[in-house]
Amino acid sequence: MPPLDTLLAGLARERSTGALRVGRAGTVFLDEGRVTYMDCAQTPGAERLLAARGRMSEAALRRLQADGGCERLLDQGPVTLGELQYCVLGAVLDAAFFLLPTTGTRPKFRPGERHWLGGRWYFDVPGLVRECARRRAQLAQVWPVADVDTEPVRPAPRLSGRGVALSDVQWEIVVRADREATPLELAKQLGRSGYSVLLAVRRLAAAGLLVTGEQTAPLPKRTRRAEPQQDGAAGARASGGPLGPTVNADPTDVELLLRLRKALEELS
């Protein structure tokens, strides 16, 4: 069975339109070979992200999905085009990160099937693969042991120093953590990107604020305070080249969103 990104590359060359279902793991939607939307069972979709922003309930979004779809959503408000674009971008990048490595499942392609939020923004497959690699490298740089990604989040009972500064995402994680929920389970509860929660959890582990399991690799020494955040503009310059996948709709707007999202991740 070829890797999922190889299958997607083949569908892109054939300019296929439809949905590639990866078992129960998720679905990739394409329009003439371009990815328009991706959903993943492990991560919150755009509907959950929109609801978490307090704009509309998930029930109201489901009603719009069956009655007018994306156009009705934008006409009715209060969701703006930019806000919807940002949520779709976050959901697609999140789903790609967790869905593309899926193995052991034979995907099935259904021609003509579309997602109700797709069709406005298009992502190329190589760009999605590059963005996933960048995110994996960032996670490894923050904290090299992946066990914390799947273990229950357990805040440390005592601080190792006299004080600590938490980002808004880290604070939400610490408050909601019940010592049983994993990072991805917390992401769904909070209506946050799964990747942003993983990144925040690894930063908490690096700062010594989590109780972690037995480590399988030697860990670098960390300061007691949370890792200093890099300026978003400097981070964009240091990365070299465009951030994230190429999007063939309004390149200026989407490039700005990608840079803004990366800056927000670094400030989280």
Question: Other C-beta atoms within 10 Å of 95: how many?
Answer: 28
> Of the residues 133, 168, 193, which one is the last residue of a structural domain?
133
Give the integer Cα–Cα distance in Å for 254 and 260.
Answer: 10
What's the 3-state SS for the chain? Answer: CCCHHHHHHHHHHCCCCEEEEECCCEEEEEECCEEEEEEECCCCCHHHHHHHCCCCCHHHHHHHHHCCHHHHHHHHCCCCHHHHHHHHHHHHHHHHHHHCCCCCCCCEEEECCCCCCCCCCCECHHHHHHHHHHHHHHHHHHCCCHHHHCCCCCECCCCCCCCCCCCHHHHHHHHHCCCCCCHHHHHHHHCCCHHHHHHHHHHHHHCCCECCCCCCCCCCCCCCCCCCCCCHHHHHHHHCCCCCCCECCCHHHHHHHHHHHHHHHHHC
Q: What is the pLDDT of residue 161?
A: 72
Q: Is residue 125 part of a domain?
A: yes
Q: What is the pLDDT of residue 252?
A: 47
170 and 61 fall within a common domain: no
Q: Is residue 77 part of a domain?
A: yes
120 and 205 fall within a common domain: no
35 and 97 fall within a common domain: yes
Q: Is residue 117 part of a domain?
A: yes
Q: Is residue 259 part of a domain?
A: no
Give the integer Cα–Cα distance in Å for 175 and 20.
Answer: 38
Domain ranges, residue 184: 143-228
111 and 170 fall within a common domain: no
* Residue-level pLDDT, tens digit, the chain, 268 residues: 678 888 999 999 999 999 999 999 999 999 999 999 999 999 999 989 988 888 788 888 888 887 878 888 888 777 888 888 888 999 999 999 999 988 778 899 999 999 988 777 889 888 899 999 999 999 999 999 999 999 999 999 888 777 888 999 999 999 999 999 999 999 999 999 999 999 999 999 999 999 987 433 444 444 444 444 444 333 433 344 444 455 555 544 556 666 666 666 655 5
127 and 186 fall within a common domain: no
Q: Write down the pTM of the prediction.
A: 0.77
Q: What is the pLDDT of residue 53?
A: 82
93 and 149 fall within a common domain: no
181 and 108 fall within a common domain: no
9 and 87 fall within a common domain: yes
State how many domains the chain has: 2
Q: Is residue 243 part of a domain?
A: no
Q: Rounded to the nearest 10 degrees, what angle do helices 251-267 and 194-206 cross at? A: 30
Contacts of 214 (CB under 8 A, 6+ apart): none
Half-sphere exposure of 263 toward its Cβ, with a 13 Å CA cutoff?
Answer: 12
8 and 112 fall within a common domain: yes
Q: What is the pLDDT of residue 259?
A: 66
Q: What is the pLDDT of residue 218?
A: 41
104 and 163 fall within a common domain: no
Q: Rounded to the nearest 10 degrees, what angle do helices 125-142 and 194-206 cross at? A: 20
Q: Is residue 207 part of a domain?
A: yes
Q: Is residue 51 part of a domain?
A: yes
> Of the residues 65, 100, 133, which one is the last residue of a structural domain?
133
Q: Is residue 268 part of a domain?
A: no
Dig out the tokens for 102 from the structure.
Answer: 């899926």
163 and 126 fall within a common domain: no
Q: Are the CB atoms for 25 and 105 separated by under 8 Å?
A: yes
Amino acid, single-letter form, for residue 85:
Q
125 and 183 fall within a common domain: no
Tokens 């029930």 label which residue?
59
Give the integer Cα–Cα distance in Å for 153 and 150.
Answer: 9
> Of the residues 133, 165, 184, which one is the last residue of a structural domain?
133
